[in-house]
Amino acid sequence: MIVDQESEIEVTFETSAAVATGTIAAFQIQNLLIADATQATITETSGLPQGSSIKEKRIGAIDQSVTDGTGKKTYTIKVLPTALGSFDMTGNFNYSQQDIKLNQKSFPVNISIPVIENNKQSITGSDYSMYVGDKTPTVSDFKASATDKTGAASEVTVDLSKADVTKAGTYDVTLNSADGQSKVVKLTVKANNQSITGTDYSMYVGDKTPTVSDFKASATDKTGAVSEVTVDLSKADVTKAGTYDVTLNSADGQSKVVKLTVKANVSDTYKVTFKSSIGGTLSGTTSVDVPKGTKLSNIPQVIPNKSDVEDIYFLDWYKDGEIVNPKEAMITKDTTFTAKFGAAVYRLYNKNNGDHLLTKNRNEKNDIAATGWLVETNDSNPYGRAAFYVPVKDDIKGKKQVYRIYNPNSGEHFYSTNKAECDAAVKAGWRHETNEDYTWVSDGDVKMYREFNPDVNTAGSHNFTTNKDEHEGVVKAGWRDEAKDTSLWKALKAGF
């Protein structure tokens, strides 16, 4: 056999049945000696009679007694080797039946057992509990460690493949050492009852500083027990009107951001109202109290209406009839801002006959452009997608109509607010093309210019534009200035 260092060896001496049962026999362990090679010591004996000589490495004993019912006697000696080498035991074991010397038996003891280094492999770990939402447990959470056969530390890894840390329950977790050992421990995942609630709060400048109860704040920890909540007002100025972020913090580390609205006292504010003209709508707050002498930080979003025939655009914000940027206006009184919308009027040019077509019908514009007419635009102008902008179809009531007539003989289009002039031209062979889906009404502050080329008797003898530079350039080239004609109209916004 082979034994590990620091493991007890049990040596047993036993008689044979040669001694008659119930007779008195003498048994002797004579100078049983343990060698020093393994630094072994005797740790325990059994069966030896009183008066036996028992030392750390030597035993001597004489037992004169009656044998038991088996006719045998048994003696046990436990020895602990503490060093490597061979465990050696030498001596004699004698026994004889009383008065019968011929029956004496003598057995020499000569034992040699190799002692090898003790296997110090071990792996330890303990069960662990966590809550849903906690970080994934690691080796240290399970207090896991291991040693290899030499006693050196062996790395331990955790196998969580049978555990679902997102769901309450008890799961088997295997701890594995680098040298092949394993141990199963339990992972208990508990339901997480953490929660934090709170609501926005409004106050006026001069009111007392808001508290937890004002924000209706409460929280529970992982176990469902109440967790104390505090209020962080570091980003709020309760002496100044505005809306601020306020953080509610629980004792167990949760947080929630709510809004604190600090209102100016009514006597220190003006009312600002946002309205929309026909052609679009507003999204957002359209009425707000603003501290005196301040500017707006937020304004509603403008949303043009959709149309099957018109391209409708937001043009400008107006205050008291003037174009303004609401965010740049100082509020010194109750103020109304109006978002104005308009339909685009496009100008197309026929390079074959020089005629210009004006239309606010998107479909007509696209159809004619497809035949080779040029849609005139100016990409450098944010409004340069069109020639000019006019009231939308739903906003023509009570406004002066612009008429469009067409000469089928020359291919020329002409535009005028003078109905009598147009009717007379129709009697002379022109054709009316006035329709609310194509033509428009006069409204706004943008002046329209008209020039006439006396040298042209066909299409292209007239030019219409809101661009003063274009107008002056055409007149300089020899065209007649007709900008003062009363049949011209006004537009909401100039285009290219």
Per the CB < 8 A criterion, the answer to whether 84 and 116 are in contact is: yes
All structural domains of the chain with their residue ranges: 3-116, 122-190, 196-218+228-263, 264-496
pLDDT band of residue 120 (cuts 50, 70, 90) is confident
Quick: pLDDT tens for 64-82: 665 555 656 677 878 777 7
Which stretch of 240-244, 276-280, 344-348 has the lowest confidence by average pLDDT?
240-244
pLDDT band of residue 102 (cuts 50, 70, 90) is very low
Measured CA to CA, the distance from residue 188 to residue 331 in angstroms comes to 63
Q: Decide: helix, strand or coil at residue 476.
A: helix
Between 9 and 2, name the one with better pLDDT: 9
Average pLDDT over residues 58-65: 68
Q: Which is nearest to 361 in space by CA: 349, 343, 382?
A: 343
Average pLDDT over residues 468-480: 97
Which residues lie below 8 Å from residue 13, measured CB to CB, with a gap of 6+? Answer: 29, 74, 75, 76, 77, 93, 109
Between 263 and 56, name the one with better pLDDT: 263
Instruction: Tell me the percentage of the chain whose pLDDT exceeds 70.
Output: 85
pLDDT band of residue 100 (cuts 50, 70, 90) is very low
| Per-residue pLDDT, 104 | 59
pLDDT band of residue 202 (cuts 50, 70, 90) is very high
DSSP per-residue string spanning 425-472 = HHHTT-EE---TTT--EE-SSEE-EEEE-TT--STTSEEEES-HHHHH
Instruction: Record the tokens describing residue 2, joined without a space.
Output: 């082979």
Q: Is CATH 3.30.2350.10 the right assignment for the domain spanning 196-218+228-263?
A: no
**Strand 156-159 vs strand 182-190: parallel, antiparallel, or unpaired?**
unpaired
Query: CATH says 122-190 is which class?
Result: mainly beta
| Per-residue pLDDT, 27 | 61
Check residue 460 and give left, alpha or beta (phi > 0: left; psi -120 to 50: alpha). left
Quick: pLDDT tens for 400-419: 999 999 999 999 999 999 99
Between 230 and 93, name the one with better pLDDT: 230
| Per-residue pLDDT, 74 | 75
| Per-residue pLDDT, 82 | 73
Say yes or no to pLDDT of 63 above 70. no
Supply the mean pLDDT for the chain. Answer: 89
Measured CA to CA, the distance from residue 480 to residue 472 in angstroms comes to 10
Which CATH architecture does the domain made up of 3-116 adopt?
Answer: Sandwich (2.60)
| Per-residue pLDDT, 17 | 47
| Per-residue pLDDT, 90 | 79
Per the CB < 8 A criterion, the answer to whether 481 and 447 are in contact is: no
| Per-residue pLDDT, 324 | 98
Q: Decide: helix, strand or coil at residue 384.
A: coil
| Per-residue pLDDT, 442 | 98
Average pLDDT over residues 422-450: 97
Q: Which is nearest to 387 in space by CA: 448, 434, 340?
A: 448
Q: Please, what's the b/e burial string for 40-62 (b: 16 or more CB within 10 A of its CB; e: otherwise)?
A: bebeebebbeeeeeeeeeebbbe
| Per-residue pLDDT, 64 | 64
Quick: pLDDT tens for 289-341: 888 888 999 999 999 999 999 999 999 999 999 999 999 999 999 999 999 99
pLDDT band of residue 250 (cuts 50, 70, 90) is very high
Between 253 and 47, name the one with better pLDDT: 253
Fold match flag (3-116 vs 122-190): yes
pLDDT band of residue 397 (cuts 50, 70, 90) is very high
Quick: pLDDT tens for 441-451: 999 999 999 99
